Amino acid sequence: MSFDHVLANLNSSQHAAVSSFADTLAILAGPGSGKTHTLTSRTAWLLHQGLQPWNIIVATFTVKAAREMKERIGKLIGNGLESKLVLGTFHSISRRYLARYGHLIDIKKDFGIADSADSLAIIKRIIKRHNLNIDPGAARSRISSRKAKGDHYVEAKPPAKSVDIQEFETCWTEYEEALKRSNLLDYDDLLLRCVQLLRTHPSCVSNVEAVLIDEFQDTNIVQFDLMRLFAAQRKRITIVGDPDQSIYGFRSAETKNFKRLLRQYPETVTIALEENYRSSGAILLTALGVIEQDTSRIAKSLMPTHTVGTKPVLRKLGNAHKEAEWLVSEIQRCLGLTGTLLDGNDFAILLRSAALSRLIESALGKAGIAYRMVGGHRFYDRVEVKIILDYLRVINQPDNNDALARIINVPSRRIGETTVKAMLEEAEQSSTTLWSLLLDTAQGNRTMKTKLGKEADRNIGIFIDLVLKARKKIASCPDQKYSTVELIDYVVSKSRFEDFLEKKYSEDHESRWANIQELRNQAHDFEAQLSEEDEEALPEIDGLEQDGSSNPLSKFLANIALASEVKKDNDGPEVPQVTISTIHAAKGLEWPIVFIPAAYQGSIPHSRAEDSDEERRLLYVAMTRAKALLYISLPLKNSQGEETTLSPFLSPLSLSPLLDKQGPKIGSSLVQTFAQILGRPLPSVESIAISSSNLKCSEDSLFSLEGGEGFANDESRWAKWDGQHNFTMGQRAPKRQRT
């Protein structure tokens, strides 16, 4: 197969990077310069060079990015090898290694993953039990940031000087013990334990021939160590990144990793990419105007390849309600006046914090515009979905105290909340798990101090039976090929879940039940396509004992725990959806039209943010997601009714001609520029007539149809707008020749 077509679409620096024979290659460049594109093409090139896909590790920052990259590589090489790459987030790659080789460092099979809510619940209990004077959220972040720096609680224990430190140490130590008892690893553990595994058993990665990393600026020290360990055998490393887009400092990402790389791999070849292929000239210029305020950064050259296009819009609205309504009306106007050129998928609303989404969601909902939330409230966090997932987690791993405590009385088994807490406490006091305590008591091997009523006692017996039978079902299935869907059906029917929903949520039980059906569909899809996150894709290594692969249920659960994106809701066939995302989760992505609302001091920079440069970079990342049109807005008053001031990162630009205070005129010339920037065909006049026929907006906002005459994609036709909602199509009169 020829590879020329791949190389032909690259500029000369990208070409040099893709086909470089350097052992260590660093591509440092600005947003939209094709870093990810280059990394993708380089992976394809390595495959083309004859490297086996299972010997190549590609680490991306989000699950979505991993999926997109896999698709793109597939398109470039077209032989299906991409599905065999070890490609995913650092967390998912680490999980795969731990699932296969975790037994070598005493990790129990089918370990569960503690998500942030689990971690918090555990910490809250510890704080309560020991009557500690710490805030649970703060304790969790502190533990996580210590672990993200590579500290391990046992090794790192400093002599406790103050009460503060002592209390924190108690909390941390007990937290680790609780995780261990429940056979859970938290997100930080996935990385830390993988480092431990590869340090002690480097042969696990003896096959690896190349390691490629996207978004390197946001790696932390543990991820840097992982990269080194992955590449320990053959130092083939390619990293791409942009220090100007480093936005995870608050999670211990280390911009120092660039320096570390150059120090530890002095032969590193560095390549710069200087052309921006994403954004219009006007958007890029404005974004550069923001980042260049940071005088301590190392300047990089970044030139637009597109036309200047439409100026970014800066609008102030009366309050956050009005802002949300305006934003939605702009989406409708853009959709209505551009025909088939755009659909809902082309819009993103990027927020500094997920909490800002409520008003925007409700305005979109009112307007009947479908949307998806990224990095916010997830499908899997819905109460009913979480309950069934907790059942599955308990079936997979009954020692998971928290999951068990959450469902033991759901549906009601006549066990009060205080009793559940007391049982949990009793279990932890006697260094056992809630499950063992219940099971032992039920089997008459031990008596529980916490007393239950007769009915509760009997109900617990039924519950234990449910879990044991489900576990038996897993174990007795030949090759463990039982289906998660069947398991969900089993749990739902045995616990009479539908009745429970009907009783408890009389108003919306139907939609909740539909969510359970959606979960079932997802389990079905997951099994059908056999997970990409599968450790079975790792090659077998001679002389290294593998753990039998983890069961399909734990793979399904891990896949959910590591998903950063909201799964599809049960809203029927896929319709184009506007994306609402936090800026953090939007990294590396791009959309034709981007909105950045709430651009005021206190929101960005956030009032609680410590690093103002990082906040500026965050705004820069958000702005550089836009291809054709960027809207920035702010309400004059915040939700507390206080007057706002424009973000200081934007105020120097607000008086400049870079920004448009009115809003774009959407007419034929704008549509043509968009089509050009997006590389899409021009919409037909008819499609504009149809899409705008439902548009309820004033004559004023349709002024842009230039006197009532639309444009035609072939010069021979025209459309006339009657000032109401009607267009008439016709032949365009022949242009008069200018003399």
Is 35 marked as binding a ligand?
Answer: yes
Q: What is the DSSP letter of 272?
A: E
Return the one option of ligand ATP, Mg ion, none that residue 306 interacts with (CB less than 5 to 8 A, by type): none
Tell me the DSSP string of 596-655: E---BTBTTTBTT-S-HHHHHHHHHHHHTTEEEEEEEEEESB-TTS-B--B-TTTHHHHT
Known catalytic residue at 245? yes
Return the one option of Mg ion, ligand ATP, none that residue 616 interacts with (CB less than 5 to 8 A, by type): none
Enclosing H/E stretch for 729? strand 727-731
Mark 257-286 with x for binding to ligand ATP (rule: CB under 6 A) and - for no binding: --------------------xx--------
Is 30 marked as binding a ligand?
Answer: yes
Q: Decide: is 692 part of the binding site for ligand ATP (CB under 6 A).
A: no
Least distance in Å: CB of 10 to ligand ATP? 5
| Binds ligand ATP (CB under 6 A): choice among 6, 10, 179, 192 | 10
Q: Decide: is 41 part of the binding site for Mg ion (CB under 5 A).
A: no
Q: Which residue has 């083939």 as its token pair?
A: 236
CA pair distance 341, 684, nearest whole angstrom: 9
Q: What is the 3-state secondary structure (H, E, C) of 215-244?
A: CHHHCEHHHHHHHHHHCCCCCCEEEEECHH
Q: Residues 203-229, buried b or exposed e (16+ Cβ, 10 A)?
A: ebbbbbbbbbbbbbbbbbbbbbbbbbb
Residue number with CB closer to ligand ATP (29 or 208) = 29
Q: Decide: is 62 part of the binding site for Mg ion (CB under 5 A).
A: no
Left (φ > 0), alpha (ψ -120 to 50) or beta: where does 21 sit? alpha
Is 29 marked as binding a ligand?
Answer: yes
Q: Decide: is 691 part of the binding site for ligand ATP (CB under 6 A).
A: no
Task: Give the CA distances from residue 522 to residues 102, 295, 528, in Å, rounded to whole numbers and listed in that order.
Answer: 27, 49, 10
CA pair distance 43, 347, nearest whole angstrom: 30
| Binds Mg ion (CB under 5 A): choice among 14, 24, 33, 36 | 36
CA pair distance 619, 605, nearest whole angstrom: 9
Candidate segments 7-15, 76-84, 375-383, 609-617, binder of ligand ATP by CB under 6 A: 7-15
In angstroms, the first-to-last Cα distance of the chain is: 55
Candidate segments 427-435, 565-573, 588-596, 698-706, binder of Mg ion by CB under 5 A: 588-596
CA pair distance 688, 323, nearest whole angstrom: 26
Structure tokens at 159: 């002599």
Beta-bridged to residue 112, according to DSSP, are 184
Return the one option of ligand ATP, Mg ion, none that residue 32 interacts with (CB less than 5 to 8 A, by type): ligand ATP
Candidate segments 34-42, 54-62, 448-456, 705-713, binder of Mg ion by CB under 5 A: 34-42
CA pair distance 203, 197, nearest whole angstrom: 10
Q: Decide: is 490 part of the binding site for ligand ATP (CB under 6 A).
A: no
Known catalytic residue at 293? no
Least distance in Å: CB of 302 to ligand ATP? 10
Tell me the DSSP string of 279-333: S-HHHHHHHHHHHTT-TTSPP---EE-S---SPPEEEEESSHHHHHHHHHHHHHH
- CA 166 to chain CA centroid, nearest Å: 35
- CA 635 to chain CA centroid, nearest Å: 28
Return the one option of ligand ATP, Mg ion, none that residue 456 interacts with (CB less than 5 to 8 A, by type): none
Q: Decide: is 242 part of the binding site for ligand ATP (CB under 6 A).
A: yes
Q: Decide: is 617 part of the binding site for ligand ATP (CB under 6 A).
A: no
Return the one option of ligand ATP, Mg ion, none that residue 605 interacts with (CB less than 5 to 8 A, by type): none
Q: How many residues bind Mg ion (CB under 5 A)?
A: 3
Least distance in Å: CB of 582 to Mg ion? 17
Known catalytic residue at 645? no
Q: Decide: is 14 part of the binding site for ligand ATP (CB under 6 A).
A: yes
Nearest to 193 by CA among 104, 122, 89: 104
Q: Which is catalytic among the residues 14, 245, 286, 582?
A: 245
CA pair distance 452, 632, nearest whole angstrom: 59
Known catalytic residue at 214? yes
Mark 22-41 with x for binding to ligand ATP (rule: CB under 6 A) and - for no binding: -------x-xxxxxxx----
Q: Decide: is 227 part of the binding site for ligand ATP (CB under 6 A).
A: no
Known binding residues for ATP are: 29-36
Q: Please report, as ranges, the residues that interact with ligand ATP according to CB under 6 A.
A: 9-11, 14, 29, 31-37, 242, 245, 277-278, 588, 590, 624
Q: Please report, as ranges, the residues that interact with Mg ion according to CB under 5 A.
A: 35-36, 588
Known binding residues are: 29-36
- Residues forming the active site: 35-36, 214-215, 245, 625
